[in-house]
Amino acid sequence: MSAAREQPRLADRQRVFAAAMLDPALPPPPGVVDPEGQVCPKRFGVYRNNVIAGLIEALQDSFPVVLRLLGEEYFRAMARLFVTARPPRSPVLLQYGANFPAFIAGFEPTATLPYLAEVARIERAWVEAYHAAEAAPMDPATLGTMAPERVGELRFTLHPSLRVVRCRYPALMIWRMNVADGVPGAVDLSAGGEDVLLVRPGADVEVRALPAGGARLLAALGNGRCLSEAVRIALPRCAPDELSMHLAGLLRSGAFTAADATDVAAVGADGAPHRRLHRVRRRGS
Amino acid sequence: MIRGHGSLPARAGVSLKAKHYATVLERTPPVGFFEVHAENYMGAGGPPHRYLTAIRERYPLSLHGVGLSIGADRALDRAHLERLRQLIERYQPGLFSEHLAWSTHGAAFLNDLLPLPYTTATLRCVARHIDQVQETLGRQMLLENPATYVAFADSTYEEGAFIGEIVRRTGCALLLDLNNVHVACTNQQWDPGRYLDAYPLAHVREIHLAGHSRIEDDVGRPLLIDSHDGLVCPPVWGLFTRVLETLGPVPTLIEWDAKLPDWSQFEGQAAQAAAMMDAQAARNPGAAQSAATRRMRPPQENGHRVVRDALG
């Protein structure tokens, strides 16, 4: 091959091409031509537009309420900055946008909408819950048959779709008003925050506000604390009836897939001690 | 049935979109198969999998990858390949296809099918990656011809010859996207008849038909954009008729990804493709016969090792 025809390695050429995809100030790479062999920035721009517009659309699909709150033009301008600075790391675009809420939180021009990043976190949690692994929630009735003192020893397994978003603003109310069939109305931003539970026990993502202390309780249970320990950490002044209300609400939401009672004294069929004497059955299992 | 080889019925299928999940399950419309983008089913669970499972119980399936970046001059993403392997194991698609394109750079995924110079260096890179895909998946893959907007001054192969050489080296089969042929031929000022003459039609196992949009290039010439957002246009139907004369009926997808219409329009386009296949088969039953024979023929001698093992 003659020296005149030698080209840089394909990898290097693709590096130059890719850089120009994300930076409109860069010219098309050398050797990219139209049918007459001429440079053709507009043709090259089709690829750039496809890349950028496709990624912006992926964000529009995942954050429809933020889109509605900002309007399409504003949203797309903001999203363009995000996608060029942080293109996806994976070809699985379902996962794209995990750090979009944090980007919004630091985005100076929308600082006058302090609830916006919280709404974005609810939307991101919704997407995660939607695509999370399937798992049958445990039957709430099972606990009713247990002696109350044993219930405190239970360690709960959280549903894989469960997400908790802690908010300083009434972001859940704003989210509800702006989902597809929502009716926007006045919101008192000084009304205080809500902690939001999202879980998909079946086909649909269910979203509800958690009572005070609920987020801390779930965090402690998620860290492997038994119920009585979790209550001591999260709800130190909780009355027993208040606690059973908490627990009933979480069970009804499908927040748990299993509950195990620890009992190291028990001996398994193989003669070895085992820690899972009372596995509270999953619904349908 | 040859293990490791998939197949689809030689009928008209359509893209499966979330918008149509419920309609498809309620009506079980008369389409030959559905095709999905693999990456849309790479979540752990949730409604996409629930619907696809239910629809797969009722229809043949084609799995179409858009993120493997076979043309990127870097190692294939093994995690992504493993996700594909698992999806194939779970849904047992009749065919698996990917693109003659690239879409990754560094750690970034650029979410578009970017063009390749047709050189021996590119050929080696693409062939090596297709070998790896077929080996990992334990089956033959289909490679789709691209819709392109630019050319590379140093390309030494014409596109059809380049694709033919990939087939020869890897034993892969082909997905012939006729909208891409029309788009590329318009944009590159190629003659579509000559394109199809040079293209290795004997290895085609699936056809794509789709709509495109139109702008102008830097100097005012028409530039077609592969937007998958509308009806199949008359010139593409014309190419379909022409290819059917050679191939007989082939699994043919109506591909529609944006500005999605109601289900009836999807079904209408599929019915048109089906009617054209029926009419062609009635005119020339011999072509259909030879198509069936061709589907049964083992890959050529230099076919991929896994394919040969599967036949053994």
Give the pLDDT confidence score for residue A238 in this predicted structure.
79
Task: Please give the C-alpha separations between residue A205 and each of A99, A103, A125, A208, B174, in angstroms, as whole numbers.
Answer: 21, 25, 10, 10, 40
Phi-psi region of B238 (alpha: psi -120 to 50; beta: other; left: phi over 0): alpha
Q: What is the pLDDT of residues B234-288, one digit of tens each?
A: 999 999 999 999 999 999 999 999 999 999 999 999 999 999 999 999 988 765 5
Give the pLDDT confidence score for residue B56 in this predicted structure.
98
Residues of A in contact with B80 (CB under 8 A): 90-92
| Cα separation, A185 vs A196, whole angstroms | 20
The reply to whether residue A130 touches residue B47, judged by beta carbons under 8 angstroms, is yes
| A13 DSSP assignment | H
Q: What is the pLDDT of residues A3-57, one digit of tens each?
A: 445 568 999 999 999 999 999 999 999 999 999 999 999 999 999 999 999 999 9
Give the pLDDT confidence score for residue A251 in this predicted structure.
94
**B37, β-bridge pairs:** B64
Q: What is the pLDDT of residues A245-282, one digit of tens each?
A: 888 999 999 999 999 986 533 333 444 444 444 454 44
CA pseudo-torsion sign A138, A214, A101, A103: negative
Distance from CA of B276 to the nearest CA of A (A): 33
Count of CB atoms within 10 A of residue A131's CB? Answer: 22
The alpha carbon of residue B82 and the mean position of all alpha carbons in its chain are separated, in whole angstroms, by 20
| Cα separation, A205 vs A208, whole angstroms | 10
Give the pLDDT confidence score for residue B6 in this predicted structure.
60
Nearest residue to A77 via CA among A43, A50, A52, A42: A52
| Token digits of residue A26 | 């860069």
The reply to whether residue A91 touches residue B104, judged by beta carbons under 8 angstroms, is yes
Residues of B in contact with A91 (CB under 8 A): 39, 66-69, 77, 80, 103-104, 109, 111
Domains of chain B plus CATH, in order, are 12-311 (3.20.20.150)
Residues of A in contact with B106 (CB under 8 A): 15, 18
- Residue A269: phi and psi, rounded to 5, are -60, -30
Residues of B in contact with A161 (CB under 8 A): 45-46
| Cα separation, B182 vs B212, whole angstroms | 10
The reply to whether residue B39 touches residue A93, judged by beta carbons under 8 angstroms, is yes
For tokens 């893959």, name the residue. B141
Give the pLDDT confidence score for residue A276 in this predicted structure.
43
- Residue A155: phi and psi, rounded to 5, are -110, 120
The alpha carbon of residue B222 and the mean position of all alpha carbons in its chain are separated, in whole angstroms, by 25
Mean pLDDT of all residues belonging to chain A: 89
DSSP result, A201-220 = SSSS-EEEEEPTTHHHHHHH
Whether pLDDT at B222 is above 70: yes
Split at pLDDT 50, 70, 90, the class of A149 is confident
Residues of A in contact with B114 (CB under 8 A): 14, 17-18, 21, 47
| Cα separation, A89 vs A132, whole angstroms | 19
Split at pLDDT 50, 70, 90, the class of B98 is very high
CB B256 within 8 A of CB B228: yes
Mean pLDDT of all residues belonging to chain B: 91
Distance from CA of A82 to the nearest CA of B (A): 13
Nearest residue to B36 via CA among B24, B137, A126, B200: B24
**A197, β-bridge pairs:** A164, A208
Q: Which residue of A has its CA nearest to B106?
A: A15
Q: What is the pLDDT of residues B147-193, one digit of tens each?
A: 999 999 999 999 999 999 999 999 999 999 999 999 999 999 999 99
DSSP result, B199-256 = S-GGGEEEEEEE--EEEE-TTS-EEEE----SPPPHHHHHHHHHHHHHH-S--EEEE-
The reply to whether residue B39 touches residue A133, judged by beta carbons under 8 angstroms, is no
Buried/exposed B24-43: b ≥16 CB within 10 Å, e otherwise? beeeebebbbbbbbbbbbbb
| Token digits of residue A123 | 């939307």
Count of CB atoms within 10 A of residue B311's CB? Answer: 13
Angle at B18 between CA B17 and CA B24, to 5 degrees: 75
Q: Which residue of B has its CA nearest to A135?
A: B45
The reply to whether residue A44 touches residue B149, judged by beta carbons under 8 angstroms, is yes
Q: What is the ipTM of this complex?
A: 0.89
Which is higher by pLDDT, B20 or A279?
B20
For range A198-202, the mean pLDDT: 97
Q: What is the pLDDT of residues B183-220, one digit of tens each?
A: 999 999 999 999 999 999 999 999 999 999 999 999 99
| Chain A / chain B CB contacts < 8 angstroms | 156
| Cα separation, B118 vs B148, whole angstroms | 12
Split at pLDDT 50, 70, 90, the class of B290 is low
Residues of B in contact with A54 (CB under 8 A): 111-112
